[in-house]
Chains A and B, each alone.
Chain A
Amino acid sequence: MRKFFYFKLALSNVRRNKLTYLPYLIATAVMSGVFLLISGLLFSKGLTNTPSGDTARMLFAFGLVVYAVFTFFFMLYINNFLIKRRKKEFGLYGILGLDKRHVGRVLVWENTFVFGGGLVIGSLIALVFGRLLFLLLMKLIHSIPGSTFSIPLIAFGLMFALFFVIFLVTSVSNIIRVHTASPIALLSSEKSGEKDKKGLLPLALLGLILLGGAYYFAWTTEIPGIALGLFFPLAIAVIIATYLLFLCGSIVVLRLLRMKKSLYYQPDHFVTISGMFHRMRQNARGLATICILSTMLVVTVSGTLSLYLGSGEMMRSMYPYDAQVYVPETATTQQIVDFDATLNRIAAEHNVTLSADKTKLVRELPEGEEFRRNNFVWEDSEFVEVPTLIFYDEAFRLDIEGKTEDCLAFVQAVRDQFGQSFNENPNLIVADYYTAMEDGYGFYGGLLFLGAFFAVLFLAVAVLILYFKQVSEGYEDKERFEILQKVGMDDHQVKKTINSQVLWVFFLPLGATALHMLFASKLMAWMLKTFMLYDWGLVLTCIAGTLVAFTLLYFGIYRVTARTYYRIVRR
């Protein structure tokens, strides 16, 4: 009976606090769903089977760990945010005679509902949305044929483990919070402010040094192998530095501005600077997270995009000729001439024209000229002496003119023909650009698909963070807005300072992302060289393009979430 009472109270609390609990539920669902999708990709067989799947797996594993850490802190942050808003209610329970122990029990029940519901919804989202997204992206990008989507059990296991830990930590912290505070303190705690913290300067400097060091190494490393090895340490350094600079560096800079009186005591700066203090204290963590997420997004998308768009050139550098047909050392002149004729016949059948330098193919030399063999070429069916030294070719190096399908068909026909008839030479090899291109498109298309998949997941999380930021800021700014007007600031001025603060908060993560990308671009270009992509211009274009597209998208998301903000402020 008693047990049911707490259960019911908790259930009705969740229902009554719909406005605050719904976002919490959605957050749990989205965060767990995204985690499930990433870990699902990491452990899927498809990824293991792809060429250079190990590199991709390493990147994914890194992404998953970073994401798990984010999830942990983000969920803690949301829980904190909600509990702070409800402290008054807990104080009231205490005064009405509900034991702290019991309040704690109600809170644990509430948490159970939210996590239970969130995980179920998250799993459903991951299964349904993941499949839809997969199909959609498959259509957009011609990917590896026969790819399917499924989430292995181990991914579910990991997700439950992670969220169980988060559940325990949030429940314990909520209970401690209720236990340590007196009802009176709880009643009035909603309105406490924040003190100026000490010891921020060393932390800010540490962040600056870390960031500077990471930028320096990223910019100066010029060996592809080292670039790949450096990537993870540098990424971790940049993540830590970003957090330090957003959390501590921003406050230090604002303090410096505040100390400069002639600047601080200007109508616009006065309100903006003090408002920024407040905003950075409240949201630095969220903003830093957005910055990291968007940097990861831009790196992933621009990297995979570069590979996809650059695959033609990469293939070209691996296959400088359209096709090469290797000729065995032992082939006689007659065999080579016959072979040439057959090639031309097949070419004519497939509507393609061939051009090739065949002069250096024949190694049988005129009688008595053995000792000068490197000075003869085969031209118009006879040997001609040339003044320079010749390196003999081992293959027909063909340039093929014609439609891509015809070229592919021609290459296939050559393979079929000589696979059987060149019987003295069973090891005849045809290496060609067109077939490689097809495989390449499949592979790099698959990578681009993974990149796009990641991007969608990151964006979902970014939307969530922005939403919470807007809501929490809205509630606080509403009051400030009214006071400023009462004290004699006109509507126009209030709007101006609020807009400038909002813009700062908007551009800070975006600007930091752009800066990170500027320094990462060179490292990325060097890393991509291990994939045989040597076109820095292309990499830069892809980064810039992705950044622009992301900015537009971010702006769109911001506009939509800002509506929530203005709705709260104006009410």
Chain B
Amino acid sequence: MSLLQVKGLGKVYNTKLGMRQCVALKSVSFEVIEGEFVAIMGASGSGKTTLLNILASLDKPTTGDVLLDGTSFSSIPDRELSEFRRKHLGFVFQDFNLLDTFSIKDNILLPLVLMQMPVREMEERLLPIARQLGITQLLSKYPFEVSGGEKQRAAIARAVITDPRILLADEPTGALDSKASASLLGQLTDLHQIGKTIVMVTHSAMAASYASRVLFISDGALFSQLYRGDDNNRAFFDRIVANLSILGGGDIA
């Protein structure tokens, strides 16, 4: 049963003066099955961030539609969009987007507070997630007191604490060094193994090699896809790199 259906997405931006149009996406379609870990790869300007923003309901497509559990995004009124996002989608951003005015704990609890959950239930949810991500010791600290990798783990905790249907990650390792990246990707794999559905946008083959399927985007269109099959990370990585060289873009690291 497919969890996420993307049907013929197109996105056209008007330039500032409205004179020229810029096509970011042209008719992209794919499906994500429950429990999949999908990576979307492409060079800068290939349209992958636009795609993720549309999947995140932060942006609206010019043509086509996105369905989550059969619910069409275009059928949700603007007023209820934030609530929908809060309940069903979890986000991890490249630059963490943690609020400096909250402690790590409060940052993680933020979506639950917005959902008006009782305090006791919030804390019950927090502890196992913090333990899984190894940030139990950091809960009372503030974002500026911890490292980038720790911030990103806190951001993941915030994304999954609402138990979303799908976790969307936009270049989650973009601001991290290679060691912190590897550890973070390991954590995403763990989440995948306990059954979370993850869609991750990245330009790094290293990051993509942790996924179970990789979609390649070029010039706003779906170019090809690779399934991991029985490959280990290393073998999958080599296939991704080989595919990228055909595509003519992307970074190896």
- The interface of chain A, by Cβ under 8 A from chain B, is 191-193, 195, 261-262, 265-267, 270, 274-275, 277-278, 480, 482-491, 493
Q: In the complex the two chains form, is B144's CB within 8 Å of A191's CB? A: yes
Interface residues on B, range: 20 to 34
Q: In the complex the two chains form, is B100's CB within 8 Å of A261's CB? A: no
Please report the C-alpha to C-alpha distance between residue A488 and residue B82 in the assembled complex, in whole angstroms: 5
Q: Which among B101, B111, B142 has the highest number of chain A CB atoms within 10 Å?
A: B101
Instruction: With both chains docked as a complex, state the minimum distance between the C-beta of B177 and any C-beta of chain A, in angstroms.
Output: 15
Please report the C-alpha to C-alpha distance between residue A275 and residue B99 in the assembled complex, in whole angstroms: 10
Please report the C-alpha to C-alpha distance between residue A482 and residue B97 in the assembled complex, in whole angstroms: 9
Q: Which among B99, B142, B145 has the highest number of chain A CB atoms within 10 Å?
A: B99
Q: In the complex the two chains form, is B143's CB within 8 Å of A486's CB? A: no
Query: Taking CB as reference atom, which chain A residue is nearest B89?
Result: A488
Chain B residues near A488 (CB, 8 Å)? 82-83, 85-86, 111, 114
Q: In the complex the two chains form, is A265's CB within 8 Å of B101's CB? A: no
- Could you say which of B102-110, B201-209, B218-226 contacts chain A? B102-110
Please report the C-alpha to C-alpha distance between residue A114 and residue B82 in the assembled complex, in whole angstroms: 47
Chain A residues near B79 (CB, 8 Å)? 490
Q: In the complex the two chains form, is B99's CB within 8 Å of A274's CB? A: yes
Q: In the complex the two chains form, is A486's CB within 8 Å of B113's CB? A: no
- Cβ contacts A to B, 25 pairs, < 8 Å: A191-B144, A193-B143, A193-B145, A265-B119, A266-B116, A267-B113, A270-B106, A270-B114, A274-B99, A274-B101, A277-B101, A482-B97, A483-B98, A483-B99, A487-B86, A487-B97, A487-B110, A487-B111, A487-B158, A488-B82, A488-B86, A489-B86, A490-B83, A491-B82, A493-B114
- The interface of chain B, by Cβ under 8 A from chain A, is 58, 79, 81-83, 85-86, 91, 93, 97-102, 106, 109-111, 113-114, 116, 119, 122, 142-145, 158
Please report the C-alpha to C-alpha distance between residue A480 and residue B110 in the assembled complex, in whole angstroms: 13
Please report the C-alpha to C-alpha distance between residue A278 and residue B122 in the assembled complex, in whole angstroms: 24
Count of A-B residue pairs with CB < 8 Å: 69
A265/B109 contact (C-beta < 8 A), A487-B91, A491-B82 known: yes
Q: In the complex the two chains form, is A486's CB within 8 Å of B91's CB? A: yes
Chain B residues near A267 (CB, 8 Å)? 113-114, 116
Please report the C-alpha to C-alpha distance between residue A193 and residue B114 in the assembled complex, in whole angstroms: 24
Query: Taking CB as reference atom, which chain A residue is nearest B144?
Result: A193
Chain A residues near B100 (CB, 8 Å)? 191, 193, 278
Instruction: With both chains docked as a complex, state the minimum distance between the C-beta of A257 and any C-beta of chain B, in angstroms.
Output: 13
Please report the C-alpha to C-alpha distance between residue A195 and residue B97 in the assembled complex, in whole angstroms: 19
A489/B114 contact (C-beta < 8 A), A191-B144, A193-B143 known: yes
Chain B residues near A195 (CB, 8 Å)? 142, 145
Q: In the complex the two chains form, is B114's CB within 8 Å of A265's CB? A: no
Instruction: With both chains docked as a complex, state the minimum distance between the C-beta of A105 and any C-beta of chain B, in angstroms.
Output: 31
Please report the C-alpha to C-alpha distance between residue A270 and residue B114 in the assembled complex, in whole angstroms: 9
